[in-house]
Structure 1
Amino acid sequence: MPSNSDRDQERSAEVEFGLTLRRAQHVLAQRLDEALRPSGLNLGLWAVLRETAGQPGASASELARATFHTPQTLSGLLQRLDDRGLVERSSGRGRIVDNHVTDEGHRALAAVTPRAEAVIADALAAFDPQDRAVFHRLLTEFADALTRQ
Protein backbone atom coordinates (compact mmCIF):
# COMPACT_ATOMS: atom_id res chain seq x y z
CA MET A 1 0.00 0.00 0.00
CA PRO A 2 1.45 3.42 -0.92
CA SER A 3 2.47 5.64 1.97
CA ASN A 4 1.14 9.17 2.46
CA SER A 5 4.43 10.59 1.17
CA ASP A 6 4.06 8.49 -2.02
CA ARG A 7 0.55 9.87 -2.50
CA ASP A 8 1.84 13.41 -1.84
CA GLN A 9 4.49 12.92 -4.55
CA GLU A 10 1.82 11.71 -6.99
CA ARG A 11 -0.21 14.88 -6.38
CA SER A 12 2.61 17.40 -6.09
CA ALA A 13 1.97 21.00 -7.06
CA GLU A 14 4.31 20.60 -10.03
CA VAL A 15 2.44 17.58 -11.36
CA GLU A 16 -0.91 19.29 -10.83
CA PHE A 17 0.37 22.37 -12.67
CA GLY A 18 1.54 20.30 -15.61
CA LEU A 19 -1.71 18.35 -15.80
CA THR A 20 -3.78 21.54 -15.57
CA LEU A 21 -1.74 23.08 -18.37
CA ARG A 22 -2.27 19.94 -20.47
CA ARG A 23 -6.02 20.03 -19.74
CA ALA A 24 -6.23 23.66 -20.84
CA GLN A 25 -4.35 22.86 -24.06
CA HIS A 26 -6.63 19.89 -24.74
CA VAL A 27 -9.85 21.84 -24.18
CA LEU A 28 -8.57 24.73 -26.30
CA ALA A 29 -7.74 22.34 -29.13
CA GLN A 30 -11.23 20.80 -28.90
CA ARG A 31 -12.91 24.23 -29.01
CA LEU A 32 -10.79 25.31 -31.96
CA ASP A 33 -11.61 22.09 -33.82
CA GLU A 34 -15.32 22.71 -33.20
CA ALA A 35 -15.07 26.28 -34.52
CA LEU A 36 -13.10 25.27 -37.62
CA ARG A 37 -15.04 22.11 -38.48
CA PRO A 38 -17.86 23.85 -40.44
CA SER A 39 -15.25 24.97 -43.01
CA GLY A 40 -13.78 21.51 -43.31
CA LEU A 41 -10.65 22.38 -41.33
CA ASN A 42 -9.34 21.37 -37.94
CA LEU A 43 -6.67 22.82 -35.70
CA GLY A 44 -3.86 20.91 -37.42
CA LEU A 45 -4.88 21.93 -40.94
CA TRP A 46 -5.50 25.53 -39.92
CA ALA A 47 -2.14 25.77 -38.14
CA VAL A 48 -0.30 24.45 -41.20
CA LEU A 49 -2.24 26.74 -43.55
CA ARG A 50 -1.59 29.73 -41.29
CA GLU A 51 2.11 28.97 -40.97
CA THR A 52 2.48 28.37 -44.71
CA ALA A 53 0.92 31.78 -45.35
CA GLY A 54 3.40 33.31 -42.91
CA GLN A 55 6.38 31.51 -44.44
CA PRO A 56 5.80 31.35 -48.21
CA GLY A 57 8.05 28.73 -49.76
CA ALA A 58 8.74 26.95 -46.46
CA SER A 59 9.72 23.31 -46.64
CA ALA A 60 7.74 20.56 -44.95
CA SER A 61 10.40 20.20 -42.25
CA GLU A 62 10.31 23.94 -41.54
CA LEU A 63 6.52 23.82 -41.30
CA ALA A 64 6.62 20.72 -39.10
CA ARG A 65 8.87 22.46 -36.58
CA ALA A 66 6.76 25.63 -36.63
CA THR A 67 3.45 23.77 -36.13
CA PHE A 68 4.67 21.15 -33.63
CA HIS A 69 3.95 18.20 -35.93
CA THR A 70 6.09 15.26 -36.89
CA PRO A 71 7.28 15.32 -40.51
CA GLN A 72 5.00 12.36 -41.26
CA THR A 73 1.92 14.07 -39.82
CA LEU A 74 2.76 17.30 -41.57
CA SER A 75 3.12 15.52 -44.90
CA GLY A 76 -0.42 14.19 -44.55
CA LEU A 77 -1.78 17.60 -43.57
CA LEU A 78 -0.07 19.27 -46.53
CA GLN A 79 -1.45 16.60 -48.85
CA ARG A 80 -4.98 17.25 -47.57
CA LEU A 81 -4.55 21.00 -48.04
CA ASP A 82 -3.12 20.42 -51.52
CA ASP A 83 -6.04 18.12 -52.44
CA ARG A 84 -8.44 20.91 -51.47
CA GLY A 85 -6.53 23.49 -53.52
CA LEU A 86 -5.51 25.50 -50.45
CA VAL A 87 -1.76 25.04 -50.90
CA GLU A 88 0.44 24.26 -53.84
CA ARG A 89 3.70 22.41 -53.66
CA SER A 90 6.54 22.83 -56.10
CA SER A 91 10.13 21.76 -56.53
CA GLY A 92 12.29 24.41 -55.07
CA ARG A 93 15.69 24.02 -53.54
CA GLY A 94 17.11 20.76 -54.83
CA ARG A 95 15.02 17.92 -53.42
CA ILE A 96 13.16 20.26 -51.07
CA VAL A 97 9.54 20.99 -51.95
CA ASP A 98 8.39 24.57 -51.45
CA ASN A 99 4.89 25.16 -50.11
CA HIS A 100 2.69 28.15 -50.89
CA VAL A 101 -0.85 29.11 -49.99
CA THR A 102 -3.11 29.51 -53.02
CA ASP A 103 -5.59 32.34 -53.47
CA GLU A 104 -8.30 29.93 -52.34
CA GLY A 105 -6.19 29.10 -49.29
CA HIS A 106 -5.83 32.77 -48.41
CA ARG A 107 -9.61 33.19 -48.69
CA ALA A 108 -10.19 30.15 -46.46
CA LEU A 109 -7.67 31.41 -43.93
CA ALA A 110 -9.29 34.85 -43.86
CA ALA A 111 -12.70 33.25 -43.33
CA VAL A 112 -11.76 30.87 -40.50
CA THR A 113 -9.12 32.76 -38.54
CA PRO A 114 -11.69 35.07 -36.93
CA ARG A 115 -13.48 31.95 -35.62
CA ALA A 116 -10.28 30.74 -33.98
CA GLU A 117 -9.60 34.19 -32.59
CA ALA A 118 -13.12 34.29 -31.11
CA VAL A 119 -12.58 30.99 -29.30
CA ILE A 120 -9.40 32.29 -27.71
CA ALA A 121 -10.88 35.73 -26.98
CA ASP A 122 -13.88 34.14 -25.27
CA ALA A 123 -11.59 32.08 -23.05
CA LEU A 124 -9.44 35.10 -22.22
CA ALA A 125 -12.49 37.24 -21.41
CA ALA A 126 -12.33 35.82 -17.88
CA PHE A 127 -9.10 37.78 -17.36
CA ASP A 128 -8.64 41.52 -17.28
CA PRO A 129 -6.14 42.88 -19.86
CA GLN A 130 -3.32 43.22 -17.32
CA ASP A 131 -3.75 39.61 -16.16
CA ARG A 132 -3.81 38.46 -19.80
CA ALA A 133 -0.48 40.16 -20.41
CA VAL A 134 1.04 38.56 -17.29
CA PHE A 135 -0.43 35.16 -18.25
CA HIS A 136 1.05 35.42 -21.74
CA ARG A 137 4.45 36.47 -20.40
CA LEU A 138 4.52 33.62 -17.88
CA LEU A 139 3.48 31.02 -20.45
CA THR A 140 6.18 32.28 -22.79
CA GLU A 141 8.79 32.08 -20.04
CA PHE A 142 7.61 28.58 -19.13
CA ALA A 143 7.85 27.39 -22.75
CA ASP A 144 11.27 29.00 -23.09
CA ALA A 145 12.46 27.29 -19.91
CA LEU A 146 11.32 23.91 -21.25
CA THR A 147 13.08 24.59 -24.54
CA ARG A 148 16.38 25.30 -22.78
CA GLN A 149 16.32 22.00 -20.86
Structure 2
Amino acid sequence: MKWNPEAFAALAARHGGEVLQHQQPLRSARQGAAHFGIAMAQTAPTLIIDADGDIFACILSGARDGVDWDKLAQTLGRSQARLADRRRVREITGCDAGAVPLLGLDLPCAMDLLLLAHDFVYGGAGDPLRTLKISPHALAELNRVSLWYE
Protein backbone atom coordinates (compact mmCIF):
# COMPACT_ATOMS: atom_id res chain seq x y z
CA MET A 1 0.00 0.00 0.00
CA LYS A 2 1.53 3.32 -1.04
CA TRP A 3 1.70 6.27 1.27
CA ASN A 4 -1.22 8.74 1.27
CA PRO A 5 -0.57 11.73 3.58
CA GLU A 6 -4.14 13.06 3.44
CA ALA A 7 -5.68 9.70 4.36
CA PHE A 8 -3.08 9.30 7.12
CA ALA A 9 -3.84 12.70 8.68
CA ALA A 10 -7.61 12.08 8.50
CA LEU A 11 -7.30 8.61 10.07
CA ALA A 12 -5.08 9.94 12.85
CA ALA A 13 -7.43 12.86 13.58
CA ARG A 14 -10.49 10.58 13.76
CA HIS A 15 -8.72 8.66 16.54
CA GLY A 16 -7.40 11.58 18.59
CA GLY A 17 -4.04 11.83 16.86
CA GLU A 18 -2.32 14.99 15.77
CA VAL A 19 0.24 15.52 13.01
CA LEU A 20 2.87 17.94 14.31
CA GLN A 21 5.05 19.89 11.89
CA HIS A 22 8.62 20.97 12.58
CA GLN A 23 11.26 22.93 10.69
CA GLN A 24 14.08 20.37 10.80
CA PRO A 25 13.99 16.58 10.34
CA LEU A 26 14.19 14.65 13.60
CA ARG A 27 16.72 11.93 12.82
CA SER A 28 16.64 9.99 16.09
CA ALA A 29 14.45 9.18 19.06
CA ARG A 30 16.75 11.35 21.17
CA GLN A 31 16.23 14.35 18.86
CA GLY A 32 12.47 13.78 18.89
CA ALA A 33 12.32 13.53 22.67
CA ALA A 34 14.33 16.75 23.07
CA HIS A 35 12.28 18.61 20.45
CA PHE A 36 8.91 17.72 21.98
CA GLY A 37 10.05 17.72 25.62
CA ILE A 38 8.97 14.12 26.16
CA ALA A 39 10.52 11.00 27.66
CA MET A 40 12.53 8.74 25.38
CA ALA A 41 10.02 6.01 26.25
CA GLN A 42 7.32 8.00 24.39
CA THR A 43 9.18 7.96 21.10
CA ALA A 44 7.91 5.20 18.84
CA PRO A 45 9.88 4.60 15.65
CA THR A 46 8.32 2.24 13.11
CA LEU A 47 10.85 -0.25 11.79
CA ILE A 48 10.24 -2.33 8.68
CA ILE A 49 11.51 -5.80 9.45
CA ASP A 50 12.40 -8.67 7.15
CA ALA A 51 11.90 -11.87 9.14
CA ASP A 52 12.68 -15.00 7.13
CA GLY A 53 11.45 -13.21 4.01
CA ASP A 54 8.19 -11.97 5.58
CA ILE A 55 7.73 -8.23 6.12
CA PHE A 56 6.47 -6.75 9.40
CA ALA A 57 6.07 -3.28 10.87
CA CYS A 58 7.53 -3.11 14.36
CA ILE A 59 6.86 -0.15 16.64
CA LEU A 60 9.36 -0.04 19.49
CA SER A 61 9.80 2.32 22.41
CA GLY A 62 12.76 4.68 22.21
CA ALA A 63 13.49 3.66 25.81
CA ARG A 64 15.05 0.44 24.52
CA ASP A 65 18.76 0.61 23.88
CA GLY A 66 18.69 -0.91 20.42
CA VAL A 67 16.85 -3.96 19.15
CA ASP A 68 17.37 -7.45 20.52
CA TRP A 69 17.15 -9.17 17.12
CA ASP A 70 16.88 -12.71 18.54
CA LYS A 71 14.06 -11.64 20.83
CA LEU A 72 12.29 -9.84 17.98
CA ALA A 73 12.59 -12.89 15.70
CA GLN A 74 11.10 -15.02 18.49
CA THR A 75 8.25 -12.50 18.96
CA LEU A 76 7.54 -12.69 15.22
CA GLY A 77 7.72 -16.49 15.24
CA ARG A 78 10.66 -16.52 12.85
CA SER A 79 14.22 -17.82 13.02
CA GLN A 80 15.81 -14.45 12.24
CA ALA A 81 14.85 -10.80 11.86
CA ARG A 82 16.65 -7.78 10.47
CA LEU A 83 15.92 -4.29 9.23
CA ALA A 84 14.75 -4.15 5.65
CA ASP A 85 17.18 -2.13 3.54
CA ARG A 86 16.35 1.50 2.68
CA ARG A 87 15.36 0.68 -0.91
CA ARG A 88 12.98 -2.03 0.25
CA VAL A 89 11.46 0.25 2.93
CA ARG A 90 10.74 2.88 0.24
CA GLU A 91 9.30 0.21 -2.07
CA ILE A 92 7.01 -1.22 0.64
CA THR A 93 5.85 1.98 2.34
CA GLY A 94 6.33 4.77 -0.18
CA CYS A 95 8.31 6.59 2.53
CA ASP A 96 11.96 6.89 3.45
CA ALA A 97 13.40 4.94 6.38
CA GLY A 98 13.31 7.22 9.40
CA ALA A 99 9.94 8.70 8.42
CA VAL A 100 7.93 5.47 8.21
CA PRO A 101 4.42 6.23 9.47
CA LEU A 102 2.93 4.75 12.60
CA LEU A 103 -0.37 4.04 10.80
CA GLY A 104 -1.77 2.92 7.48
CA LEU A 105 0.84 0.43 6.30
CA ASP A 106 -1.40 -2.63 6.08
CA LEU A 107 1.41 -4.88 7.31
CA PRO A 108 1.42 -7.37 10.17
CA CYS A 109 2.44 -5.28 13.16
CA ALA A 110 4.31 -5.93 16.40
CA MET A 111 4.29 -3.26 19.08
CA ASP A 112 6.31 -2.66 22.22
CA LEU A 113 4.34 -3.14 25.46
CA LEU A 114 6.36 -0.31 27.05
CA LEU A 115 4.45 2.19 24.89
CA LEU A 116 1.16 1.40 26.63
CA ALA A 117 2.39 3.13 29.81
CA HIS A 118 1.95 6.57 28.19
CA ASP A 119 -1.02 8.74 27.28
CA PHE A 120 0.61 9.65 23.97
CA VAL A 121 3.49 8.40 21.85
CA TYR A 122 5.29 10.17 19.02
CA GLY A 123 6.51 8.64 15.78
CA GLY A 124 6.69 8.77 12.03
CA ALA A 125 4.12 10.55 9.91
CA GLY A 126 5.53 9.68 6.47
CA ASP A 127 7.53 12.89 6.10
CA PRO A 128 10.74 13.86 7.92
CA LEU A 129 9.19 17.25 8.82
CA ARG A 130 6.10 15.74 10.47
CA THR A 131 5.56 13.63 13.58
CA LEU A 132 2.41 11.85 14.72
CA LYS A 133 1.26 12.22 18.34
CA ILE A 134 -1.31 9.55 19.23
CA SER A 135 -2.56 7.35 22.05
CA PRO A 136 -0.70 4.02 22.05
CA HIS A 137 -4.03 2.22 22.59
CA ALA A 138 -5.46 3.81 19.41
CA LEU A 139 -2.23 2.96 17.63
CA ALA A 140 -2.50 -0.70 18.62
CA GLU A 141 -6.15 -0.86 17.57
CA LEU A 142 -5.65 0.87 14.22
CA ASN A 143 -2.68 -1.34 13.33
CA ARG A 144 -4.50 -4.50 14.47
CA VAL A 145 -1.48 -5.36 16.62
CA SER A 146 -1.43 -9.04 17.50
CA LEU A 147 2.24 -9.44 18.41
CA TRP A 148 3.67 -7.75 21.49
CA TYR A 149 7.37 -7.10 22.08
CA GLU A 150 8.21 -7.32 25.80
* Both structures adopt the same fold (TM-score exceeding 0.5): no
Q: TM-score range by the shorter chain?
A: under 0.3
Structure of greater Rg: 1
- Would you tell me which structure has more helix in proportion to its own residues? 1
- Would you tell me which structure has more strand in proportion to its own residues? 2
Output the TM-score relative to the length of structure 2: 0.25
Output the TM-score relative to the length of structure 1: 0.25
